[in-house]
Structure 1
Amino acid sequence: MENTRSRKQSHPTASSQSRTRRRAKADYYDYSLVAVIVLLTCFGLIMLYSTSSYTAQINYGSDMYFFKKQTIISIACIIMALIISKINYRILNRFATALYVAALVLMALVKTPLGQSSHGAQRWLNLGPVQFQPAELAKIAVIVCLPYMIVHMGKKVRTLKGCMVLALMGGGLALAAYVFTDNLSTAIIIFCITAGLIFVAHPDLKIFVILAGVGIALIIMGIVFLNATASVDGSGSFRLRRIMVWLHPEEYADSWGYQTIQALYAIGSGGLFGRGLGNSIQKLG
């Protein structure tokens, strides 16, 4: 009787300890990640001040003009990020399909009169007081939708059909970003997110190594071919022009290659670690 009573008394204690461990695990907060974000933001602000102080003093009468403006934005964004981090992200599972459809519809609306052009590209959507790039919503949609599908597919993710379904879903958003908003960089990002999620979910590493090797080989062959046959002046594609300028920036130092040449000047002047904080020459005009 005494042994039975002692077991009954010890059982609630073990159960409460288990609940406490689960609660502690659920309440875990990654303060290290927050610290890294704050440090990177501070470093960026210091570099911004070092770069812009001279121009700000000449044009606005205050060397802190750009620094103050960006500091306010950075603090507001960090506070917003901390608030959002407290929200249970699993609630997004309920809106996975809606987010995917909304991203497609909003990107398609860019081709309508609601689309707005800026800097030679029509990628923005003008909805009265709100103006934004719907392709950015597509990044969130693929991050929410594909993991939702992976969890529900279970072991089917390992099959070729499962991988193709995931690739088509993510690739559809990437294709829409390119076709509707003419934003190749965002399309590549969405496609890479899709490939990364499939890579994490799929147990076979060998397939991805082979695909990565083939992709790298094709990129190298394409660059070699462009370097031998194409020219910047004869190219009607600004994307092809960017590649050619990247290959030969010195030939276009006063036009398309200006930014690349300035970066090379800075590296050549200061080396890998720079000339020191505040000692830059390029920012002086």
Structure 2
Amino acid sequence: MNKDNNSPWQQIDYTLLFLIFLLLCISSIAIYSAQFSLPVHLREINFVLRQVMWYMIGAVAILATMILDFDRFKQISWYLYGFGIFLLLLLRFSPEYIGSYELAPIRNGAKSWFVLPGLGSIQPSEFMKIFLIISLSHIIIVHNEKYAVRELREDFILLGKILLTSLLPIAIVMEQPDLGTAMVLSAIVASLILVSGIRWRILFGAASTFSLAIFVLVQIYFRFPKFFEDYILDSYQLARFYGWLQPYEYAGSYGYHLITSLKAIGSGQLQGKGFNNGTVYFPEAHTDFIFTVIGEEYGFIGASIVVSVFFMVIYRVIHISIESHDPFGSFLCAGVIGMLTFQVFQNIGMTIGLLPITGIPLPFVSYGGSSLLTYMIAIGLVLNVASRTRKYMFD
């Protein structure tokens, strides 16, 4: 028996929306404090106002995403995937004045943005995350419907489809070079593979192969460092790992980021220094290192509250995924879970020295138009699934 006959718009998950509103408040307060530690030429920019503006644009994106039944995204998944690849290739072969080599020092030489005069910059790889989630979910659902009773061969075919579809965007993003975004795309792929129904012995074999590949790469690095730097990771990407493993020896580059981040978070202690009372200067405070601002000014208690809000967001998406009666909706939610979980873990981990610095922003909190819009569209997909899930009295 259906508990209600409400329309999808009457079944919006307000709990999830409230959590996103909390992140908006946290983001605005943290960015306001971070502005005072930015270079002089950036302090004149009202990043808080811009962030709120992007949240408003994101709210419109959520509404637009919810207009179309999420099941319809299967019909346009390959168009979205093709459009994403087109944008990545267009950026790859565009002139340097269109790409953002010289836009700001935080770009680190990565050609990952379109520079739009008067509007700022757009990062195509951010939107590719959403397109990849939709495309892979479509692949999995079509394969599972075609092979209701699967043998080992069919599982390998599905794994091959997923990896082949994912390889092209990840390779293009790696070439930009943007290791952080490539890692997020890989996390999306891994999360969808885990819930795809592929046998665990195949997944264990794939994990073992991946571990062996990492071991081989390490051996190549120690034995043929020149080859490794020329064909696998750029020097600035390697510098991120050096700065993580030996921050004081590489204090002139990425070690400086980690040292100042640890100093700021450590000085916050239990309760923090209070709103706008941060005293440790560190670069990129309003973007990649926004969690450092929170840790310094609000201490362990404030940082724990932020982590708890993220935990509740991810828990809510998991709940919606489990409740969905449509496998495609569950796969969409699983991809969003993989994306958000990895990005939160990676960003917070890099600010406390647990993981290497990769330039991944903290979802919903770090300043950034393309990234925030991507997260809002992802939440729109989840809300779409939740609003069209019928609940029954005897479920």
TM > 0.5: yes
Q: Which structure's relative contact order is higher, taking Cα pairs within 8 Å and 6+ residues apart?
A: 2
- Tell me how far apart the structure 2 counterparts of residues 218 and 124 of structure 1 sit (CA, whole Å): 30
Instruction: State the Cα distance separating 1:37 from its structure 2 match.
Output: 0.6
> What is the aligned partner in structure 1 of residue 99 from structure 2?
116
The AA in structure 1 aligned to 2:137 is P
Compared with structure 1, are the counterparts of its residues 168 and 283 closer, same or farther at alpha carbon in structure 2 (3 Å cutoff)?
Answer: same
1:77-88 equivalences under 5 Å are: 77-87=57-67, 88=69
Answer yes or no: is the 8 Å Cα contact 1:52–1:283 preserved in 2.
no
Match status 1:95 vs 2:91: no
In structure 2, stretches of 5+ residues that fail to align are 102-106, 284-395
Report the TM-score when normalising by structure 1. Answer: 0.72
RMSD: 3.9
- Tell me how far apart the structure 1 counterparts of residues 144 and 43 of structure 2 sit (CA, whole Å): 61
Q: 1:171 aligns with which of 167, 174, 179?
A: 167
Instruction: State the Cα distance separating 1:277 from its structure 2 match.
Output: 3.1
Dislocated runs of 4+, deviation >6 Å: 58-62, 126-130, 220-230
Between structures 1 and 2, the one with greater helix share: 1
Answer yes or no: is the 8 Å Cα contact 2:243–2:251 preserved in 1.
no
Instruction: State the Cα distance separating 1:246 from its structure 2 match.
Output: 0.9
Match status 1:160 vs 2:141: no
Q: 2:87 aligns with which of 94, 106, 120?
A: 106
Q: 1:185 aligns with which of 180, 186, 189?
A: 180
> What is the aligned partner in structure 2 of residue 13 from structure 1?
none
Aligned residues: 261
Instruction: State the Cα distance separating 1:35 from its structure 2 match.
Output: 0.7
Q: 1:52 aligns with which of 35, 47, 58?
A: 35
- Tell me how far apart the structure 2 counterparts of residues 160 and 60 of structure 1 sit (CA, whole Å): 51
1:148-175 Cα offsets, whole Å, 9 max, x none, are 1211111647621122112211222212
Compared with structure 1, are the counterparts of its residues 50 and 177 closer, same or farther at alpha carbon in structure 2 (3 Å cutoff)?
Answer: closer
- Tell me how far apart the structure 2 counterparts of residues 277 and 238 of structure 1 sit (CA, whole Å): 34
The AA in structure 2 aligned to 1:151 is I
Answer yes or no: is the 8 Å Cα contact 2:100–2:112 preserved in 1.
yes
Compared with structure 1, are the counterparts of its residues 224 and 143 closer, same or farther at alpha carbon in structure 2 (3 Å cutoff)?
Answer: same
Compared with structure 1, are the counterparts of its residues 223 and 274 closer, same or farther at alpha carbon in structure 2 (3 Å cutoff)?
Answer: farther
Compared with structure 1, are the counterparts of its residues 60 and 152 closer, same or farther at alpha carbon in structure 2 (3 Å cutoff)?
Answer: closer
What percentage of aligned pairs have identical amino acids?
Answer: 25
- Tell me how far apart the structure 2 counterparts of residues 274 and 112 of structure 1 sit (CA, whole Å): 47
Match status 1:134 vs 2:124: yes
Compared with structure 1, are the counterparts of its residues 96 and 210 closer, same or farther at alpha carbon in structure 2 (3 Å cutoff)?
Answer: same
Instruction: State the Cα distance separating 1:22 from its structure 2 match.
Output: 6.9
Answer yes or no: is the 8 Å Cα contact 1:51–1:283 preserved in 2.
no
Compared with structure 1, are the counterparts of its residues 133 and 45 closer, same or farther at alpha carbon in structure 2 (3 Å cutoff)?
Answer: closer
Instruction: State the Cα distance separating 1:273 from its structure 2 match.
Output: 4.8
> What is the aligned partner in structure 1 of residue 195 from structure 2?
200
Report the TM-score when normalising by structure 2. Answer: 0.54
- Tell me how far apart the structure 2 counterparts of residues 194 and 124 of structure 1 sit (CA, whole Å): 23
Secondary structure of 2:92's partner?
Answer: coil
Compared with structure 1, are the counterparts of its residues 89 and 273 closer, same or farther at alpha carbon in structure 2 (3 Å cutoff)?
Answer: farther
- Tell me how far apart the structure 2 counterparts of residues 225 and 110 of structure 1 sit (CA, whole Å): 31
Compared with structure 1, are the counterparts of its residues 209 and 281 closer, same or farther at alpha carbon in structure 2 (3 Å cutoff)?
Answer: farther
Instruction: State the Cα distance separating 1:129 from its structure 2 match.
Output: 8.4
Instruction: State the Cα distance separating 1:39 from its structure 2 match.
Output: 0.5
